[in-house]
Amino acid sequence: EDQVTQSPEALRLQEGESSSLNCSYTVSGLRGLFWYRQDPGKGPEFLFTLYSAGEEKEKERLKATLTKKESFLHITAPKPEDSATYLCAVQARGNTGKLIFGQGTTLQVKP
């Protein structure tokens, strides 16, 4: 069964304290791994798509990496405005476009 597990469930950081969020997955043929950011009371906002092991993408203080079993979202020198829930999702082989989401990691960055 296709599955996505994110850890930790919650993470508290001081401003400037770098860390990483983990997304472990099992899927029957990975077609893509997606990272989203969700602010309270809003819909998820697309951040990155990774398609193959070894691929990396960056956006401001965020960097996403992918291996054959997991993905990491590295946050470098975070700021309070980076506080949000980060969601990981995978798309298995097929043409439906369906994504399987993890439970998310809620990040709080304190000034």
Q: Which residues of this chain interact with other proteins, rule CB under 8 A?
A: 4, 9, 31-32, 34, 36, 41-46, 49, 51, 87, 89, 91, 95-99, 101-104
Closer by beta carbon to other proteins, 31 or else 61 = 31
Q: How many CB atoms lie within 10 A of CB 14?
A: 9
Closer by beta carbon to other proteins, 14 or else 95 = 95
Closer by beta carbon to other proteins, 13 or else 87 = 87
Q: How many CB atoms lie within 10 A of CB 36?
A: 19
CB of 91 to other proteins, least distance (A): 6
DSSP 36-59: EEE-TTS--EEEEEE-STT-EEEE
CB of 109 to other proteins, least distance (A): 21
Those residues whose C-beta lies under 8 Å from the C-beta of residue 29, and which sit 6 or more positions away, are 92, 93
Query: Which whole-number Å values give the CA distances from 55 to 18, 32, 52, in the listed order?
Result: 21, 11, 6
Closer by beta carbon to other proteins, 23 or else 78 = 23
CB of 31 to other proteins, least distance (A): 7
CB of 22 to other proteins, least distance (A): 15
